[in-house]
Amino acid sequence: MCHWRRVRNYYKRCRHYLDLPDEMIQCDDRHCKFSDRHPPDCRGPRCIQTCWQYRQFPQQYEPVIDGYCSTCIIMGHVN
C-alpha cells in the first residue's frame, strides 16, 4: 500500500533539523487505488470494497548526519 515518506535530517555538528519534502512511495499492490498495478477498470463501489482507498500514514525517518546542514555551509559556519 502506498504511503508518504517524511524525512527529517538531523545534522549532528550544528544540531539543526531539516525537513525534506514528503515523498510518495509507490507499492505494486493491485488492490491499492494509487498503485500502477491497479486495474483501470476497477472503479466505483467494487473498488471501494476490494481496494485500499487511502494512503497509509506517513512513515517518519530521522537520519542522523555527521556533518553540517546546507544553511550552515552556505553561511560559512563550517571549518
Which residues are at the interface with Zn ion (CB under 5 A)? 1-2, 14, 16, 27, 32, 34-35, 42, 47, 51, 69, 72
Minimum CB separation from Zn ion for residue 12, in Å? Answer: 10
Minimum CB separation from Zn ion for residue 66, in Å? Answer: 13
Q: How far apart are CA 55 and CA 50, in angstroms?
A: 15
CB-nearer residue toward Zn ion: 6 or 16: 16
Nearest residue to 16 via CA among 74, 71, 61, 60 = 71
Minimum CB separation from Zn ion for residue 57, in Å? Answer: 13
Q: How far apart are CA 72 and CA 16, in angstroms?
A: 9
